[in-house]
Structure 1
Amino acid sequence: MREIMSVESTKKSNKKESKSRNKMKTQQTKRSPKKAIGKSRKVKQIEQPKKKWKKGMSLLFDLLYYLLVIGIILGSILFVANKDSNKSFFGYRFYNVLTNSMVPQKDSLPGGFHSGDVTIVKMATYDQIKVNDIVTFTVGEGSYLTHRVKEKMTELNGEEGKFMITQGDANKSQDPPVDGSRVVGKVVFVIPYVGNILKFVRDHFVVCLIFLISMFGFVWVLRFYFEQPDYVEVKKGKTKKKPRVHKGNVKEKRNIRST
């Protein structure tokens, strides 16, 4: 009987001790839950090499970005230059084609252009141009004409000087003789359809500006996204704690076995 009483008393004391320990544990977890979570959940980020498709997309948007920047610079130069035909940049002028007098024909020489194109004219004098060159010359005040040179003359109606006869590739008749002093330059390059675009930009400047800014921002964001490296989160392994064995519980088991 004494042994049974001692076993019961040890049971009660062990229960009290376990309850008090459990309370202490719950209080500790309530006070510092972040520390406990941080210790158990340690995450490491490892950088991975970019995938092939992501590399290709980043190169594509890089190319689009730089092309857009170059296009904006060139477009702004053309826009400013095309406003005033008397302005020249590094010896070149830009003219918007208004008529189809130089549309290429079957038997015409190369170099023709259409209405809505932009011609780049290198400034030149009468002595620097040749027959079959496409030249730009003044016609009245503030008006310009760009036709092909058919003939150069040193005399006109008994008067000595520098004259030339021009004709449009799409025209059936030649132009009246022109004084050589009116020559502005000769056409060296033609940009198709840009004149129509510049005209549209002038008429709808605010809309085009908003569209350009939004396009620039869209390409920049996509370029930044595809250049970001990929990371993989790896959780560190948790160490399992062995369950604690209390001395009181061991004594209790021994006493029960002895009974």
Structure 2
Amino acid sequence: MLFILLIFILQFFGLKILVGSLTSSVIFYKINLIDPFAFLEVSIATRSVTVILLLSLIPVIVIYLVFGRAFCGWVCPFDFIFKLIGKLSPHSKRETRLIRGNGFGNVKSGINKWLLVVAFIVLALIIKVPIFTRYISHNTNLFRAMSSLSGIIKSMSYALDEFLFSISMIILLVAFEYFFPRKWCRSFCPVGKIYGLFNKISLIKLKFENSEMCKECFVCQIKCYMGVPLHEFILKSKERNGKVSGRFIDCIYCGECVLACEKIQEGVSSIKISLK
């Protein structure tokens, strides 16, 4: 995560390996990349799909067909930031959540989590502006703030209003995270929701094995800050000899459940993150 962020930061010092942000970027001035939700929102707002935009989407789709929503756990810098906030916030103490469902949760919860995604798409259609991608996206604001900060340090021209807006949005998100840990990631972030769909078909998935060693302590569930229904997954896996799909929309393959299981079982985990 920090390595990828460092490569992006290098562009502000003249070394342009990756130019842009995690929303839209260019590698070595040759390969264009665009986030799937940004592609969807921009295409609807502009009422068009260009060849360049479409070609920019293909490499990203290929990546997520392999890794699913691993972006949120291994690339997005806010996962790291939110972990730090979680250590400071008194609201981050989690109790075991025995959540029903295999990714979508119960019907009502699943629908509510997609309302914001639909709202941004409808707004893009009506006002012809990609509101989330341009103004609200945490990654857009982070990289826009870094770009402005680079201009300040180098005494170059920069837009003060854009800098103040982006910093304000980041502060608001950090404050929200302090009081409502991971609520943004679990329920509101449209980018994460779109990535989560890839979990249903990606090569990487959760796998439960060594069932005889599982003590059903469900520490894995406690450690899962994304609210993945590991309790139900484990019990069903035991009943069906592991023949249960571990494809959860909210799973970001961070590995917290694996590490928790290894600690309890002294180095051996019943939960694996494995290729198909």
TM-score of the pair, normalised by structure 2 = 0.18
TM-score of the pair, normalised by structure 1 = 0.19
More strand by share: 1
